[in-house]
Amino acid sequence: MKIKSWDFKENKDCFGNKGPTTVDHVYPRSLGGIRSRRNTMLVSKKTNIRKGNKVEGTINKIPFRVIKQTDKNNKTIGTLRIQINDEWYDVQKILLSDNIVK
């Protein structure tokens, strides 16, 4: 199953929240995550506020974890995983530029 951080057709994020979007730092900057496209994804403002700087928790009854990783420059980035029906799935990072028709 492929899960995207934001679904442009349904206008909602991977937690089911709609509404204004914002850029979330997957691995929180306050915990050492970098400010880079490699560590960001599009989610609803509601989700971003609820997630805050947590690396695990629950949003809308959907458990999540952020897996800490390092990129080729040894900078801290993260991968978001959510649990659906007892299975964990990596969330594909979507950015606003992914919706631009070229």
pLDDT at 100: 53
pLDDT at 1: 80
Determine, yes or no, domain membership for 84.
yes
pLDDT at 102: 42
Determine, yes or no, domain membership for 102.
no
Beta bridge partners of 25: 40
Determine, yes or no, domain membership for 43.
yes
pLDDT at 6: 96
Q: Which residue range forms the structural domain that includes residue 16?
A: 3-97
Task: Specify the DSSP element, H or E, that contains 7.
Answer: strand 6-7
Give the number of domains in the chain.
1
Whole-prediction pTM value?
A: 0.91
Average pLDDT over residues 67-91: 97
Determine, yes or no, domain membership for 58.
yes
